[in-house]
Amino acid sequence: MATQFHLALPCVSINKTRMFYKDVLGAEIGRSAVKWADINLFGHQITFTECGPFKFDSKSYNFNGDILPSFHYGVILEKEDWNKILERLKSNNTPVVSQVKFLENKTGEHQSFFVKDPNDFTVEFKCFTELSDIFNG
């Protein structure tokens, strides 16, 4: 069953958040008001509400020698779309926090890159070598 995912997050500035997701990532802005907005990120709904920064004590963890953000969210894309969004970011001089290949030559092999939004949230874009491995491991 194909369904959409919903995530609600706080933000510092709704205007900067709208601009980042629309202008930098190319996402569509859905319903919105003065202090909140729905973002369509590859068919998934992220609702941002302007209410201040998110506090999280455990900022990162180690996965096979790579330091990753403990709190992050993202989308899994096919290789073509993954390359398109990566090229879009590079052409806009948007900093990519890291670009990593995970589980090389193993079940679940995938590539990821991470970007920061204006709220200091980390957004991950994944591309699996074998799409069927998303939940195998």
Q: Where residue 15 sits, what CATH number does that domain have?
A: 3.10.180.10
Residue 61 is predicted with a pLDDT of: 66
Q: Which of 10, 34, 52 is a domain's end point?
A: 52
Residue 137 has pLDDT above 60, yes or no: no
Q: In total, how many domains does the chain have?
A: 2
Question: Is residue 39 located within the same domain as residue 97?
Answer: no
Q: What is the pLDDT of residues 16-62, one digit of tens each?
A: 999 999 999 999 999 888 988 989 998 898 989 888 777 766 666 67
Strands across the sheet containing 110-116: 72-76, 122-128, 110-116, 98-102
Question: Is residue 31 located within the same domain as residue 80?
Answer: no
Question: Is residue 43 located within the same domain as residue 67?
Answer: no
Question: Is residue 39 located within the same domain as residue 96?
Answer: no
Residue 134 is predicted with a pLDDT of: 79
Q: What is the pLDDT of residues 64-100, one digit of tens each?
A: 777 777 678 899 999 999 999 999 999 999 999 889 9
- Could you list the residue range(s) of the whole structural domain that residue 97 is in? 59-137
Instruction: Quote the DSSP letter at residue 23.
Output: I
CA atoms within 13 A on the CB side of 43: 6
Question: Is residue 16 located within the same domain as residue 72?
Answer: no
Rounded distance between C-alpha atoms, residue 123 and residue 73, angstroms = 5
